[in-house]
């Protein structure tokens, strides 16, 4: 009788745990249960829980970006829900290869498209309507594509600013270009573009008097974005994942994350590019950076997406930003990628 009662109690307890959403079993089973619990993207691709996981692989080499990403996914052990690509000027996008990557039902992905719309001209010229034909051509392609996707206009604008009156590339010209483009896309009936303003977050630029003039306005920005990296060799920008979020100009200014979440409270944050690097040809362990990521994501709930930029070539100023530059680094990155915080389904 006691044995029968014990089995009955255990059965009822197990059922209760299941109904209450208690995660049981192996880590792999826990990850699956977390995803099934309802972490998925909403109207602006903001996840209801968890963090979107993304990647850009191959750097700025001649490697086909879709194949480079698949290789990176295989190495990391997880599909990159966000597939990051780069375009400029009149380049037609989304491309066939990009579209195909988002039609793979076994590996669901959403596009993150970087577009230097002012390529060959200036931000002021775009704001004045001189590239409206370029904008309208993109609008037609975006509507034909139909699926929601992220769009960054001229990522890392700080590096392109020419702070001289009449240059057409002042910080205020960037803001005007951004506003004009987004408002024209909306006027053209584009409703599937989720726009991101992506900063470098470098303390040098944050100290400039014009830095605040870059922001185009909350009404035309869906996500706040940051492109930032850390070195694993002691010296310039050495540190963990936290340090790439907190760089600040001297004099008590806010770090980038604090600035974004206080000045533009309520906007989701995307780390649109991140990685750990050492000099090309050197060997250094990146594990301590990768091991620090999840704790910071839990401490900083505004971060809703992180997108790793991966290259081991000399196309990034003698920086090896690959996840597999050492066996220890790759093992740590695979552990990071396996964390259930990234189990977010595309809604």
Q: Where are the domains of the chain?
A: 30-342
The CATH fold of domain 30-342: TIM Barrel (3.20.20)
The per-residue pLDDT for 316 is 60
- Of residues 236, 238, 304, 224, the one with CA closest to residue 40: 304
Average pLDDT over residues 289-307: 98
d(CA 303, CA 226): 10
Q: What mean pLDDT value characterizes the chain?
A: 90
pLDDT digits over 157-205, tens only?
Answer: 999 999 999 999 999 999 999 999 999 999 999 999 999 999 999 999 9
Q: Where are the alpha helices (DSSP H) in 77-168?
A: 96-101, 123-127, 132-145
143-167 as b/e: b if 16+ CB within 10 A: eebeebbbbbbbbbbbeebeeeeee
Instruction: Assign residue 52 a region (left: φ > 0; alpha: ψ between -120 and 50; beta: otherwise).
Output: beta
Average pLDDT over residues 210-221: 98
d(CA 216, CA 46): 21
The per-residue pLDDT for 54 is 98
The per-residue pLDDT for 315 is 58
Least confident window among 53-67, 80-94, 182-196: 53-67
**Contacting residues for 98 by C-beta, under 8 A, at least 6 apart:** 66, 83, 85, 111, 113
User: Are 307 and 270 in contact, with CB atoms under 8 Å apart?
Assistant: yes
The per-residue pLDDT for 251 is 77
Residue 73 tokens, joined: 């996914």
Higher pLDDT, 249 or 134: 134
Residue 249 tokens, joined: 């100009």
User: What predicted TM-score, i.e. pTM, was given to this entire model?
Assistant: 0.88
Longest dimension (CA), the chain: 90
pLDDT digits over 232-252, tens only?
Answer: 999 999 999 999 999 998 877
Decide if pLDDT at 3 tops 50.
no
Average pLDDT over residues 37-49: 93
Model confidence at 38, pLDDT cuts 50, 70, 90, reads confident
Burial class from Cβ neighbours inside 10 Å (0-12, 13-18, 19+) for residue 235 reads exposed
Decide if pLDDT at 37 tops 70.
no
d(CA 12, CA 7): 9
Angle at 320 between CA 315 and CA 324, to 5 degrees: 130
Least confident window among 21-30, 206-215, 305-314: 21-30
Model confidence at 15, pLDDT cuts 50, 70, 90, reads very low
């Amino acid at each position: 009788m006691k044995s029968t009662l014990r089995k009955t109690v255990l059965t009822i307890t197990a059922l209760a745990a299941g109904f209450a959403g208690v995660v049981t079993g192996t880590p792999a089973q826990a990850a699956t249960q977390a995803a099934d619990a309802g972490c998925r993207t909403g109207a602006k691709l903001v996840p209801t829980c968890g963090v979107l996981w993304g990647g850009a692989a191959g750097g700025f080499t001649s490697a086909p970006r879709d194949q480079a990403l698949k290789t990176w996914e295989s190495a990391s052990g997880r599909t990159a829900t966000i597939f990051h690509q780069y375009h400029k000027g009149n380049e037609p996008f989304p491309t066939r290869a990009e579209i195909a990557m988002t039609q793979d039902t076994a590996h669901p992905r959403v596009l993150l498209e970087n577009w230097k719309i002012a390529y060959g001209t200036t931000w002021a010229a775009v704001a004045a309507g001189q590239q409206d034909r370029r904008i309208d051509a993109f609008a037609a392609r975006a509507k034909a594509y139909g699926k929601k996707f992220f769009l960054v206009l001229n990522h890392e604008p700080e590096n392109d600013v020419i702070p001289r009156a009449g240059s057409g590339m002042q910080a205020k010209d960037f803001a005007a270009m951004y506003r004009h483009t987004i408002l024209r896309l909306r006027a053209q009936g584009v409703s599937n573009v989720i726009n991101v303003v992506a900063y470098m977050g470098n303390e040098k630029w944050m100290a400039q008097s014009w830095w605040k003039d870059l922001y185009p306005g909350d009404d035309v920005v869906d996500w706040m974005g940051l492109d930032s990296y850390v070195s694993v060799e002691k010296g310039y920008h050495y540190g963990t994942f936290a340090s790439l979020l907190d760089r600040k100009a001297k004099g008590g200014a806010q770090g980038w994350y604090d600035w974004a979440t206080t000045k533009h409270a309520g906007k989701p944050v995307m780390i649109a590019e991140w990685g750990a690097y050492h000099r090309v040809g050197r060997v250094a362990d990146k594990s301590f950076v990768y091991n620090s990521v999840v704790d910071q994501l839990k401490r900083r709930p505004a971060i809703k997406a992180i997108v790793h930029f991966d290259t081991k070539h000399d196309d990034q100023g003698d920086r090896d930003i690959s996840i597999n530059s050492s066996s220890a680094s790759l093992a740590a990155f695979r552990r990071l990628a396996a964390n259930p915080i990234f189990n977010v389904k595309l809604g």
